[in-house]
Amino acid sequence: MRTGFGYDSHRFVQGRKLIIGGVEIPSEKGLAGHSDADVLCHAIIDSLIGALGRGDIGKHFPDTESCWKDASSVAMLRNVVEIVDTSGFEILWIDSTVIMEKPRLLPYIDSMKKALSSAGIRADVINIKAKTNEGMGFTGRGEGVAAYAVCLLKKS
**pTM above the 0.85 mark?**
yes
Cα(49)–Cα(43) distance, integer angstroms: 10
Domain boundaries, the chain: 2-155
Q: How far apart are the first and last CA of the chain?
A: 10
Check whether domain 2-155 has CATH 3.30.1330.50, yes or no: yes
User: What pLDDT shows up at residue 41?
Assistant: 98
- With a cut of 50, list the residues of the chain below it in pLDDT: none
Contact call for residues 125 and 93 (beta carbons, < 8 A): yes
Helix residue ranges, H only, 8-140: 39-52, 57-60, 73-86, 109-117, 137-140
Q: Which of 31, 61, 30 is nearest to 45 (CA)?
A: 61
User: What pLDDT shows up at residue 100?
Assistant: 97
Cα(120)–Cα(146) distance, integer angstroms: 24
User: What pLDDT shows up at residue 25?
Assistant: 97
* Helix (H), strand (E) at residue 155: strand 144-155
**Which residues touch 59 (CB under 8 Å, ≥6 apart)?**
49
User: What pLDDT shows up at residue 68?
Assistant: 77
